Structure 1
């Protein structure tokens, strides 16, 4: 397996790692509330991928690849926030299985 190297200076974008919590709304439903898990530094790369077809299925669309230093517990459904931009994490994986980096494929949510 080839070991991947990323310049440590590339991790200069400060991001807030957040997880969702469902809060009862008092009418039998729930509202989504986000809580900060950690502040991390990463490298954001714009990419474009989509899956326009799929009867009755969620249509995932990757808009960005965000690389972080490895951190356990990061996964789909969490989000990374930078100022007014929010990136919902679709997948997170260790690209070379060395425990050094974490690559998150994310979709930017328009706010």
Structure 2
């Protein structure tokens, strides 16, 4: 059974952004992001994973982010909290009741 949270615990203000692809004139596209909505959420850090690459140790931080139910989420969207960016990797309705969306996110560098 999925863990459900009290709606009062959605205490972080985030901006939901959608990708916008603009042709670059050479057959490719330039991707930018456009704000879609401002919403309340709960952010739960899950794990930090370090991978060694070329002598550096980049760290990937993953989070679970709870939102009120939305039916307009699609792949490629991200969430923003100030300068912090969270790429939405997967999302689901944790109890199939249409109350919340639970997003599995990866914090990315801007």
Q: Determine the structure 2 residue equivalent to 1:32.
A: 31
CA distance in 2, matches of 1:49, 1:72: 29
SS of corresponding position for 2:67: strand
Q: Determine the structure 2 residue equivalent to 1:82.
A: 81
Deviation sequence 1:36-93 (CA, Å, 0-9, x none): 111111000111277x8xxxxxxxx770100001011113310000100010101110
Name which of structure 1's ranges 93-102 and 7-16 shifts more when overlaid on structure 2: 7-16
Distance verdict in 2 for CA 1:49–1:76, change over 3 Å? farther
CA distance in 2, matches of 1:10, 1:49: 23
SS of corresponding position for 1:75: coil
CA distance in 1, matches of 2:106, 2:4: 25
TM-score normalized by the length of structure 1:
0.81
TM-score normalized by the length of structure 2:
0.82
In the alignment, structure 2 segments of 5+ residues that lack a partner are 52-59
In the alignment, structure 1 segments of 5+ residues that lack a partner are 53-60
Instruction: Give the C-alpha shift of residue 4 in structure 1.
Output: 4.4
The RMSD of aligned alpha carbons is 1.9
Q: Determine the structure 2 residue equivalent to 1:14.
A: 13
May I ask how many residue pairs the two structures share in their alignment? Answer: 101
